[in-house]
Amino acid sequence: MRKRRGNFWQKAMAVLLAAVLCAGLTAGTGAVDAWAAEETQTAWFRAAFPDYMGTPTGIFTVYLTDDNNKIYDPVVGVQDGIVSYAVTGLSRNHNYYWLVDGNRAASFNNNEPAYTIEKTYYSVNYMDGSSLLNKKYVEFDTKAIRPVPDPTKPGYTFAGWRTVYGGKEEFPFDTRNITDTTNIYAAWRRTVTDPALDTELWNALVSLAVTNSTTDGDVRKEIKAQIDSSFDIDSTVTVTVFEPVYAVSGMAGTLKLDVSVIFNGFSAQRQITKTIPMLPTLGERGWSLDSAGVLVIISQAGMEDWAINGKTDNKELVKEVQIMDGVIRIPDNAFSGCGGLGAVSIPESVTEIGNSAFAGASSLGGITLPSNLQSIENGAFSGCTSLEKVVMQGSTPPAMGSSVFDDCKFTTDSTGTGGIIVPQGSGDAYKNLGGVFGTHVKEEAEAGITEETLGDRLQIILDNLSVSNSTTREEARDQVKRSLDGFLQIDSVITVSSFNLVYATFENEGFLELTVSAGSGNVLAERSARIPISRLPLPPQDKGWTLDGAGNLIITGQAGMENWLQNGRGESNLSDVKHVLIQDGVITIPPHAFSGCDNLGSVSVPGTVTDIGDSAFAGAVSLEKVEMQGVTPPAVGSGVFDDCKFVTDSVGGILVPPGSGDAYKQELGGTLGAFVTEGSLTVTEEALQNKLQQILANLSVSNDTTVEEVRITIKKEIDKYFQIDSTITVAGFTLEAATTEGKGFLKLVVVAGHGGFSVSAEEAVPIPQLPPLPDRGWTLDQAGNLTIASQAGMEDWAQNGRAEGNFPKVKNILIGSGVTAVPEDAFSGCADLVAVVLPDTVVSIGNRAFANAFSLGEITLPPGLQGIGDSAFMNCGNLGKVVMQGTTPPSLGSAVFDQCKFVTDDSKGIVVPNGSEDVYKAAWGVLGDFILEKHTHSFGADWKYDGMYHWHECACGGKGDVSAHGWGNGVILKAPTATEAGIMGYSCPGCQAAKTESIPATETSTPGGDSSVTGNNPGGDSSVTGNNPGGDSSVTGNNPGGDSSVTGNNPGGDPSGPGNDNSGGNNAGGAPGNGTGVPGEGSSGGNILPQTENGADWLLQNLLTADNRKDREPRTADGVPLEMYATIAMIAGFFYLILLFLDRYDITEEERRESLARLVRWAKRGGWLRRLPVMAALYTMRLYYRVIGGQASKGRKI
């Protein structure tokens, strides 16, 4: 029974289990079906890269994950620059995340059969200049990430990321969204070291460009900008410019620079000599400037080039301006700001002076303006504060702008003798201009310079001379010459015969006493003056002491010490004092001067102090260091250093110069002597400055002192004093030698440097006056001015002065009245001699007297001269002019003028008085070829002209009444057509000069050619744009004449034929059959017509002439003889003659030409139907044409 029951229950459980299993399987089948449906979902991630060049694969690592961190690898595809990442088989209602390079880029819950996320990425380029450091792609409208770590670069410190290369603006990573391709630039700051600073300084100096106008400020600005830009710092740059040698025409200049740079304890110093490019020569740009400051301008182009390019860098060098004939206009601002300009020579050809042309030429004393001047524009001479005399040579006033003479001296100084000097009889015309003319115009008779006028003007100039402690004899001479020559319009010889300069001081005025001789021609004058020099301004420290915020108390003199004691101590300053620097000049430190200065830590006492009073530093409880700069100890009172820190705490002590320790110990006694130590003094900027100034003030110099001697002396003293190895540079060295007439001086600018300090000082060190020489009848000053007062002086010079080695120094010779003979060899070999003034008393010039005076350019010989010895002027290679004042020629020795310039140039270099030419030629034989009688221009009545100007001409070649052509509105000689330019003719009513200009073609298509070709004339090859009629006969429809391959060939003309132009057609300018056109000289592409040719007749003949290369029998392209066209042209001529001979004056010349042109065009376009009627009347018309022409030639002239 039990067995049966057990089987029952087993079977029942099996049945139940089977039922459950069947139900489960049924339910399982539905679950599998549902799960399979969920896994059909797909997710897409699409990334666009608009700025990527190429196929954008491998840029990112992209994959999908879910909340369980399961990784789904996508399938990647690329189409049209978009990268697609796809993952399929995703479940619904699950959270998924797209990861880009490990960072979550997007998330979603996949409820749709397909879920797509689209992103756009732009590149962010991290750059180092033009080099790419790194590249990242950033999602559109999100922020870029600052790279970590910062980039590195040898020798540089990373300074952040910038929005632009080289800019200062930081890239705003936190606020700026990326919306396009973006470059971010690394900024670098060079690491500052001494070698790096030195390298950059040298590179900056090498690349520096200098000119004549370069200043220390210019150099400092350029060097600092380059240094600061390279290191991104704010450096301190010190520049000394010294020993400038200015560039002149044909010769380069030099500029020596000493430059130091300091930043944050690092420093560099370099010296360099820079080359100033040489100025142009006359042949290069039409102007030249020499070392004496003489500016020569030879053409209008040269004038314009100077005004635009030359003036800016060289205006300060200009002392004299010589403008050559041919210059018409002085441009605006041409010489404005030329402060040293003292003399100007303006030729007769100048007709206009532009705006502000001479404005601010503050040294210009006088000027002569040419007679042809037509206008002076606004402010031309404004600010010429020395301008006293303006000589107007024209009797007709020029047109005047506004403020022409504002602030000129003659308008502000009513006591002067100058003004505006005009020709006799023209005063009223000038006064009618009003303004300054109404007040300052004076008429002046034509009279020569007298001794009185020369002397009076010389005295005025001397009385108003600008002088200072640094004025030299040469500067005074130059001032006098510029003012005298400018006012009187002469070329004077100036000699400063005495010169005594007494320096001004803080307490007293100085003065300059001088005597000056002036010579012009045979007129001599001598004047003296004593010109005061104002007292020097007092130092800016009105109290004699200063106390700055850092506690530095500086006392500059004994008065300052007394003021400090009486006032400074009582102004609650004691506790503010931390350092005391007592400068040279203080002799006594009074009792209690610094007692109670409880914060005083150091004191520097100069060697000038001889006494220190009782308790002077008592109670200075912080005082550790006392520097005694004198090698001789001062007398010291009692209790001077009581309670000072170095005494109470044995910290610091008293530092004295090497070798002076024993003397100090003996003076201070046993207690204080124990604190004395020998050693190097602390170098501070103030200490270095004071010592340098002290050395200069006590320097001993002479006429023979050199730059190197000064440098060595200063270096020895500074190095010994501070126990250092200093750098000494003599930046300025101007020696005015002492003479027997006055003291000299040595003006020094010295720079001293050590460590990071660099100081400079200036001093004019006096040189004692030399003892007087015995009176020998002649003097030779430092400027090379030789003055000979008597015949005895002349003999002494010739016998002794030359032998003493003086002749190479001579530059100017002034011989006084009373000298009758110039001995032989007196001035031979004076190679630098440029000017000689001989008195009327001289009657003979000895053998070789001026031989080999290579620099002598001109000489005037006195009227009473009776004889000139052998070779007197031989080898004077620059002597181009000898002016003979006597009407009776002196006797000549042999080879008197051999190898003189006027002989070698074969020019008229000997000028003799009017009426004496024949006498001289008869007396001087072969030299007669070089003789020119003084000449007055006589201008012819006929006008001469060129392409721009016309003038009257003298037989000698001189020009007068020069003016520009006035061309008027012109006349049309040939009207333009669709493809042919017209011709406009012009003539000048003043001189009958003529020119032509081209009138552009109308560029309108005309029938007969290829309508697709713009501007093609009928009958031309349609492949040739703008072809004129008359091409190759092989081209269907082409008119007869020239080769169609020649662009712009004139009708009927071989390009090499008469009057033609291979460049596209010649303007009227060549006669027919000439082969080539006669070149013109007009403006705007025009040609000046030959004076023997009528432009309209020549044009007609040119149009009707043919010479076909391929067929010498003139024919058109369709085989018609050219005679047919000639006949038509004659018919046109017939109608033209009819219109001309009939009194139809209502028809203008232009209308007649236009009628002719229309008829010619009509004939050219016609075929046989148009030509047959014309041919029927051919012979009748020819006969009638000849009859009318014959009658016309016999009738009235046209």
pLDDT digits (tens, 9 = 90+) for 764-773: 899 888 776 6
Residue 19: pLDDT band with limits 50, 70, 90: very low
360: region left, alpha or beta (phi > 0 left; psi from -120 to 50 alpha): left
Do 905 and 862 fall into the same domain? yes
Lowest mean pLDDT among 30-34, 418-422, 817-821: 30-34
Strand order across the beta sheet in which 343-345 lies: 287-289, 294-297, 320-323, 343-345
Tally Cβ neighbours within 10 Å of residue 512: 23
Counting residues of the chain whose pLDDT is more than 90, the rounded percentage is 19
d(CA 500, CA 520): 25
Judge if the upstream peptide bond of residue 56 is cis by omega within 30 degrees of 0: no
Q: What is the pLDDT of residues 951-966, one digit of tens each?
A: 888 876 667 777 778 7
pTM for the whole thing? Answer: 0.35
**SS3 for 337?**
coil
Do 312 and 211 fall into the same domain? no
Q: What is the pLDDT of residues 617-638, one digit of tens each?
A: 998 998 888 888 888 899 999 8
Q: Between these two residues, 669 and 143, which has the higher pLDDT value?
A: 143
Do 555 and 635 fall into the same domain? yes
Q: Between these two residues, 377 and 646, which has the higher pLDDT value?
A: 377
Do 33 and 45 fall into the same domain? no
Q: Count of residues for the chain?
A: 1198
User: Domains in the chain: how many in total?
Assistant: 9
Residue 535 in any domain: the answer is no
Check residue 838 and report its DSSP letter.
-
Residue 376: pLDDT band with limits 50, 70, 90: very high
Do 828 and 715 fall into the same domain? no
Residue 488 in any domain: the answer is no
For 271, counting Cβ atoms within 10 Å of its Cβ (0-12 exposed, 13-18 middle, 19+ buried), the class is middle
Per DSSP, helices labelled H in 168-299 are 194-207, 216-231, 282-285
Tally Cβ neighbours within 10 Å of residue 943: 16
| Whole-number pLDDT of residue 566 | 84
Q: What is the pLDDT of residues 39-48, one digit of tens each?
A: 457 788 888 8
Q: What is the pLDDT of residues 553-577, one digit of tens each?
A: 888 888 889 888 888 876 567 888 8
Do 808 and 903 fall into the same domain? yes
| Whole-number pLDDT of residue 486 | 72
Element (H, E) at 8: helix 2-38
Residue 1057 in any domain: the answer is yes
949-956: long-range contacts at Cβ-Cβ below 8 A with a sequence spacing of 24 or more? 949/328, 950/988, 950/990, 950/991, 950/993
Angle CA 533–539–541, to nearest 5: 160
- Over range 260-266, report the average pLDDT: 85
- Given a cut of 60, is residue 381 above it in pLDDT? yes
Lowest mean pLDDT among 273-282, 433-442, 596-605: 433-442
| Whole-number pLDDT of residue 1113 | 52
Residue 453 in any domain: the answer is no
Do 791 and 869 fall into the same domain? yes
| Whole-number pLDDT of residue 570 | 67
| Whole-number pLDDT of residue 359 | 94
**SS3 for 973?**
strand
- Over range 328-346, report the average pLDDT: 92
Residue 97 in any domain: the answer is yes
The DSSP-derived string for 1002-1052 is -----TTS-TTSTTPPTTS-TTSTTPPS---TTSTTPPSSS-TTSTTPPTT
d(CA 393, CA 446): 11
Three-state SS string over 1182-1196 comes to HHHHHHHHHHHHHCC
Residue 868: pLDDT band with limits 50, 70, 90: very high
Do 386 and 417 fall into the same domain? yes
Tokens of 808: 């190479």
Of the ranges 138-147, 325-334, 540-549, 1055-1064, which is most confident? 325-334
**SS3 for 749?**
strand
Place of tokens 């009486």: 566
Residue 182 in any domain: the answer is no
Strand order across the beta sheet in which 653-656 lies: 545-547, 552-555, 579-582, 602-605, 625-628, 653-656, 676-678
| Whole-number pLDDT of residue 774 | 67
Angle CA 891–895–898, to nearest 5: 125
Break the chain down into helix, strand, coil percent, rounded to 5: 25, 25, 45
Q: Which domain holds residue 269?
A: 194-276
Q: What is the pLDDT of residues 221-255, one digit of tens each?
A: 999 998 888 888 888 898 887 678 888 887 888 88
Please report, for residues 328, 589, 979, the alpha-carbon distance to residue 1011 in angstroms, rounded to integers and kept in the order given: 53, 110, 13
Which of 446, 473, 497 lies at the terminal end of a domain, its last residue? 446
Per DSSP, helices labelled H in 767-862 are 791-796
- Over range 1153-1170, report the average pLDDT: 58
- Identify whether the C-beta of residue 122 lies closer than 8 Å to the C-beta of residue 182: yes
- Over range 88-92, report the average pLDDT: 77
Lowest mean pLDDT among 281-285, 403-407, 541-545: 541-545
Residue 1190 in any domain: the answer is yes
Residue 335: pLDDT band with limits 50, 70, 90: very high
Tokens of 159: 């300074």
Residue 1164: pLDDT band with limits 50, 70, 90: low
| Whole-number pLDDT of residue 321 | 92
Do 345 and 381 fall into the same domain? yes
Q: What CATH number should be reported for the domain holding residue 50?
A: 2.60.40
Please report, for residues 150, 163, 164, the alpha-carbon distance to residue 188 in angstroms, rounded to integers and kept in the order given: 11, 14, 13
Backbone angles phi, psi at 958, to 5 degrees: -65, 150
Counting residues of the chain whose pLDDT is more than 70, the rounded percentage is 76
- Given a cut of 80, is residue 720 above it in pLDDT? no
- Over range 1131-1149, report the average pLDDT: 55
Do 431 and 560 fall into the same domain? no
Q: Between these two residues, 105 and 391, which has the higher pLDDT value?
A: 391
| Whole-number pLDDT of residue 221 | 92
Residue 1160: pLDDT band with limits 50, 70, 90: low
Lowest mean pLDDT among 48-57, 443-452, 574-583, 852-861: 443-452
Which of 423, 446, 469 lies at the terminal end of a domain, its last residue? 446
Tokens of 379: 């402010």
Q: What is the pLDDT of residues 1114-1126, one digit of tens each?
A: 555 455 565 666 6
Which of 397, 412, 446 lies at the terminal end of a domain, its last residue? 446
| Whole-number pLDDT of residue 350 | 94
Q: What is the pLDDT of residues 113-146, one digit of tens each?
A: 567 888 898 889 999 888 888 888 888 999 998 9
- Identify whether the C-beta of residue 956 lies closer than 8 Å to the C-beta of residue 940: no
| Whole-number pLDDT of residue 1089 | 42
| Whole-number pLDDT of residue 64 | 84
Do 304 and 438 fall into the same domain? yes
Tally Cβ neighbours within 10 Å of residue 634: 19
Q: What CATH number should be reported for the domain holding residue 313?
A: 3.80.10.10
What are 960's strand-pairing partners? 952
Residue 130 in any domain: the answer is no
d(CA 1141, CA 648): 132
Q: By C-alpha distance, which of 79, 50, 335 is closest to 182?
A: 50
- Over range 46-55, report the average pLDDT: 79
Lowest mean pLDDT among 824-833, 880-889, 1076-1085: 1076-1085
Do 789 and 743 fall into the same domain? no
Q: By C-alpha distance, which of 85, 96, 186, 182 is closest to 141?
A: 182
- Over range 736-753, report the average pLDDT: 85
The residue type of 700 is S
Across the chain, mean pLDDT equals 77
Residue 1144: pLDDT band with limits 50, 70, 90: very low
Q: Between these two residues, 636 and 1148, which has the higher pLDDT value?
A: 636
